[in-house]
Structure 1
């Protein structure tokens, strides 16, 4: 009798271990906010929103004449700005200028956009808008002393071999300073609340070390625009990081397991959608009556991906308290989410 009881207990442990190990791994993007007062404000403003319509004001040629002269490059400004903001950002950007069916001149002004944000947001399925305008740009030339790594290496070799290389390793070098004063406004579609940021720091594009000439404007412009957009993203967007997260696909209940698998396929397919995956995992949780550790953990992964850290923590805790799950994994993930969610509380 005792042997039979021990065998049943052993089989139970084996079943739990098998369920805990039946997980796939996917890469999940999640937001990380600055650990500061500003980061806390941004986190509160952004919430779980990620779908952002990008509206770039059409540049006035007179404003940019000093930079481009008579060049037609100014006409490419909106597309160049979109490209700069679309690089490795957290937000899923919607290029409003490509929607000829709804775009109009008023939309490309801040006043026009704020008046029609609710209607436009619904049409585009946008949760926020990022409006990019411009203040007056400027460019100038200058010179600074720069370290010549190649000359330093040759000098080191010369010294090591008993040579006499007297070439300077610090050389006067020309640069082109370009200020692209992007004036950005982030708008919450639902509330109409706004956050603003203006680029005020110029970018310096240096010539080759030792070349005292001033680089051309177009040569410097691309890097200057990337730098300006990075300054805006640093203030108005969280960083995006990627983590490998377990997605559980097995359950004692076949219907629950099927829903978990369907969710995994949505999250890992050719066009991954954590939102669609969540819908399946939520059904699995309901089907299991809140007793599926896999469904709870998978839902926690979704909440983590959208920055809803409170619900992510709650669901990992629920998964820990349900029989049959990988408690160590759930505990570690809860700690990870707590660490990610933490911001500096000292500067209020």
Structure 2
């Protein structure tokens, strides 16, 4: 079963309100403020940042599986109109967003020039450490200490200051996330020269894309629902036949043929005279998988009514999750 999982806490609640179930997203990187390109070049960093940050964010968003990314490359003039403004979400930009058939727009801008720091730190040489540990084991635990395999090493810390604002095109509601965390890039152990700033910048942009996605996108997660094959509490039918139909249905489900699985669970339910909690539970899972939440609710409710005391102990978390997911779908529409 797949469903979107929002970030925890207030951030996730606000994101859910802003999105309102909308999934068609366009990513727009704002043009750099005046003078930034020159200063980035002076620092030895890539001045053409828009394509890089947009690609990083889109890739990170796609990995989370929630948004349908709308490609604006073929509509360059409209994209440039969106990217040109340095602040705010104007009515004209909302109109362009609707024209481009997107439901939400993620605006990204650099809020300050990147900060670069070069430090010398003690870094563990893993190959030397492994060798010394092996030697220590051979000499019955005697070793020369951790300091022997730590070496002064050059480390570059590079911070890309970025603000990302997600805007619902229909309502104008928005939510923002700002990155102020540095990316750490260390040189080969023992090399006290600091690593390339350009490499650190490229990696920092990828890190920022991932952080933006973590904070401004739900993640579609796969949830496995336990299926039941016991015959506890039957008040009719042949328990062996009921059990055989239940097990056959589970085998079909494991092969990915859920319709055939449901047919076998229906047979189990018929054989039991409608009293098999396992068959009712499995059919509830089937209708949940099929997207028919009302039928799923009906079968789950019947399973609860027919179940023996304690039968639901290992299934309560599934039942709780189902109710939350049903409420979300009723609110968002999918």
TM-score, normalized by length of structure 1? 0.62
Q: Output the CA distance in 2 between the equivalents of 1:68 and 1:168.
A: 40
Q: Output the CA distance in 1 between the equivalents of 2:23 and 2:10.
A: 21
Deviation at 1:244, TM superposition (A): 6.1
Q: Output the CA distance in 1 between the equivalents of 2:144 and 2:286.
A: 69
Give the aligned partner of residue 300 of structure 1: 291
User: For the Cα contact (< 8 Å) 2:285–2:296, is it kept in 1?
Assistant: no
Q: Output the CA distance in 2 between the equivalents of 1:175 and 1:219.
A: 12
Deviation at 1:340, TM superposition (A): 7.0
Rate the CA distance shift 1:91–1:114 in 2: closer, same or farther, 3 A.
farther
CA-to-aligned-CA distance 1:145-201 (integer Å, 9 cap, x gap): 222222110101222333987872222221111111111111011110111121111
Tell me the secondary structure at the aligned position of residue 90 of structure 2: helix
In structure 2, which of residues 53, 69, 73 is the aligned counterpart of residue 93 of structure 1? 69
Give the superposed CA RMSD: 3.9
In structure 1, which of residues 138, 141, 144 is the aligned counterpart of residue 118 of structure 2? 141
Q: Output the CA distance in 2 between the equivalents of 1:211 and 1:248.
A: 58
CA-to-aligned-CA distance 1:311-345 (integer Å, 9 cap, x gap): x5x5531354689xxx99x9885444347799xxx
Q: Output the CA distance in 2 between the equivalents of 1:124 and 1:333.
A: 40
Tell me the secondary structure at the aligned position of residue 170 of structure 2: coil
Q: Output the CA distance in 1 between the equivalents of 2:289 and 2:70.
A: 28
Give the aligned partner of residue 103 of structure 1: 79
In structure 1, which of residues 337, 344, 347 is the aligned counterpart of residue 322 of structure 2? 337
The reply to whether residue 176 of structure 1 matches residue 156 of structure 2 is yes
User: For the Cα contact (< 8 Å) 2:284–2:297, is it kept in 1?
Assistant: no
User: For the Cα contact (< 8 Å) 2:153–2:193, is it kept in 1?
Assistant: yes
Give the aligned partner of residue 272 of structure 2: none
Q: Output the CA distance in 1 between the equivalents of 2:39 and 2:123.
A: 28
CA-to-aligned-CA distance 1:283-331 (integer Å, 9 cap, x gap): xxxxxxxxx9799535537xxxxxxxxxx5x5531354689xxx99x98
Rate the CA distance shift 1:39–1:61 in 2: closer, same or farther, 3 A.
same
Rate the CA distance shift 1:319–1:47 in 2: closer, same or farther, 3 A.
farther
Q: Output the CA distance in 2 between the equivalents of 1:160 and 1:232.
A: 46
Give the aligned partner of residue 155 of structure 1: 132
Give the aligned partner of residue 33 of structure 1: 6
Rate the CA distance shift 1:318–1:33 in 2: closer, same or farther, 3 A.
same
List aligned pairs for 1:292-331, cutoff 5 A. Answer: 296-298=287-289, 300=291, 312=293, 314=294, 316-320=296-300
Rate the CA distance shift 1:121–1:250 in 2: closer, same or farther, 3 A.
farther
Rate the CA distance shift 1:150–1:183 in 2: closer, same or farther, 3 A.
same
List aligned pairs for 1:164-243, cutoff 5 A. Answer: 168-243=148-223
Q: Output the CA distance in 2 between the equivalents of 1:207 and 1:53.
A: 37
The reply to whether residue 52 of structure 1 matches residue 28 of structure 2 is no
Q: Output the CA distance in 2 between the equivalents of 1:199 and 1:58.
A: 18
Runs of at least 5 residues in structure 1 that lack an aligned partner in the other structure: 1-27, 253-291, 302-311, 343-348
TM-score, normalized by length of structure 2? 0.64
The reply to whether residue 84 of structure 1 matches residue 56 of structure 2 is yes
Give the aligned partner of residue 16 of structure 2: 43
Higher relative contact order (CA 8 A, sep 6+): 1
The reply to whether residue 121 of structure 1 matches residue 97 of structure 2 is yes
Deviation at 1:132, TM superposition (A): 0.5
CA-to-aligned-CA distance 1:235-257 (integer Å, 9 cap, x gap): 222233234687854799xxxxx
Rate the CA distance shift 1:34–1:337 in 2: closer, same or farther, 3 A.
farther
Q: Output the CA distance in 2 between the equivalents of 1:47 and 1:334.
A: 24
Q: Output the CA distance in 2 between the equivalents of 1:130 and 1:40.
A: 18
